Structure 1
Amino acid sequence: MNAVSHQTIIFMKQKLLNMLDLQDQLNRQINPDWLQAGYEWYRAIWLESAELMEHYGWKWWKAQEHDLEQIRLELIDIWHFGLSAELVSCRGDHASAAANMLARLQGRQSRENDFRNNVDQLARHALEQQALDMPAFLTLLGDVDSSFDDLYRIYVGKNVLNRFRQDHGYKDGSYIKTWEGREDNEHLAEIAATVDANENNFEEQIYTALEARYPGT
């Protein structure tokens, strides 16, 4: 990442703290004792890395197109697990987790120039270090023309959708994922495009809009 202003760093830290708080809330909704549960977040990262590779394409014996939108969504899923792993590492201390991640965000991006090599590095680091490889992640994010602000906007939207799913029966299987012929992710993308991510009630606006569209509410 290039040199950034002091004010930009402050904004980034605030957004990191907000994302860590949202992730903690979601994880507690699923399991109030999630920090002590011993979940293998690193395993989730490397498995999502495999899905990421599928959307990019790796089969040399057939023609494949890069599905950039799905790649972005897979990166956001990986970010969820990276935030969780960092919170566990810092024993739930949001400020320490934000400081650690901010320091790595300001570091150098990966030296790998090949997208697939960076995906391999992401998975390898997850298995060996049980954490998110920030340089590889940032490079992959840049490869799909996404910035930190894009990461924040899409992450918050997906986090709200995950919370919405839990509130409407995702865990017991009663949640309806497709409405009016479109999956909930598509509704989310449409809603998020109309809301300013810098507004204080960004999350609440998305949740309310999802609820207004969801069948039976």
Structure 2
Amino acid sequence: MQEQVEVMLAMQDDMNTRVNNDWRRQDFAWYRAIWIECAELLDHYGWKWWKKQTPDIEQVRLELIDIWHFGLSLLLQSDQSPAALARHIDETLVVATDEPDFRLDLEAFAARTLAERRFDVAGFGRLMAGIDLSFDMLYTGYVGKNVLNFFRQDHGYQEGTYKKQWGDREDNEHLVDIVQGLDGAAATFKDDLYAALKARYQGVC
């Protein structure tokens, strides 16, 4: 697991550098991005008692992976080396929870994020357990979303020309479909995914 975490930390640094070459000194509010994502995640999970709602677990998992991106960014802004951060995550990330209500774990995680402005790795592990997201699934999903983020940047995301809606679905939903048809363990996974995203984007936009 530690080796995979180091890979993800390196990928996150590459993505952040792509957006802003001096990102570490910009003091971006990563904690704010985390709790906003928590609210978006809860909408996919469902919380409205006045209407019937069924959790969209695939979208909940995608939102949790987005939180992981921001959490890694927050950790990378510390003075610790990537190797030290990977060890910390390896020791702290336990995929288990004793809370049967996922929403309560989510609210506790969001509250700690706001109060302490840090990434609660242990709390994140509880959220993973609450939606049956294994570490291997997190890793594959993270790599997939990282590739999508690069794809967005390559196709005008910062300039405002990128189309997030592909036909009648968002790019995140297309990503889920494409990843399911690829071998996440393959050495060419990143390249295969990028090529598949490009082909579908050009075909529907």
* TM-score in same-fold range (> 0.5): yes
Q: Is the 8 A contact 1:110 1:135 kept in 2?
A: no
Q: Which position in structure 2 is the counterpart of 1:149?
A: 136
Task: Please give the residue correspondences for 1:176-187 in structure 2 after superposition, counting only pairs within 5 Å.
Answer: 176-187=163-174
Q: Which position in structure 1 is the counterpart of 2:160?
A: 173
Deviations 1:160-212 (A, max 9, x none): 00110001101111112233544322332222122222222321221122223
1:53 and 2:55 matched: no
Q: Is the 8 A contact 2:96 2:129 kept in 1?
A: no
SS of equivalent residue, structure 2 residue 77: helix
> Number of residue pairs matched?
204
Distance 1:62 1:212, change over 3 A: closer
| Inter-partner Cα distance in structure 2 for 1:196 and 1:108 | 24
| Inter-partner Cα distance in structure 2 for 1:54 and 1:99 | 33
SS of equivalent residue, structure 1 residue 89: coil
Q: Which position in structure 2 is the counterpart of 1:161?
A: 148
User: Which runs of 5 or more residues in structure 2 are unaligned?
Assistant: none
Distance 1:214 1:58, change over 3 A: closer
Q: Which position in structure 2 is the counterpart of 1:78?
A: 67
User: Which runs of 5 or more residues in structure 1 are unaligned?
Assistant: 1-11
Once the 2 structures are TM-superposed, how far is the Cα of residue 27 of structure 1 from its aligned partner?
A: 0.5
| Inter-partner Cα distance in structure 1 for 2:195 and 2:3 | 23
Q: Is the 8 A contact 2:95 2:126 kept in 1?
A: no
RMSD, aligned α-carbons:
2.0
Q: Which position in structure 2 is the counterpart of 1:63?
A: 52
Picking from 106, 114, 136, the partner of 1:119 is: 106
Deviations 1:112-135 (A, max 9, x none): 332111011111111122222223
Q: Which position in structure 1 is the counterpart of 2:82?
A: 94
1:17 and 2:6 matched: yes
TM-score (norm 2): 0.90
Percent same amino acid among aligned pairs? 49
Once the 2 structures are TM-superposed, how far is the Cα of residue 214 of structure 1 from its aligned partner?
A: 2.6
Q: Which position in structure 2 is the counterpart of 1:140?
A: 127
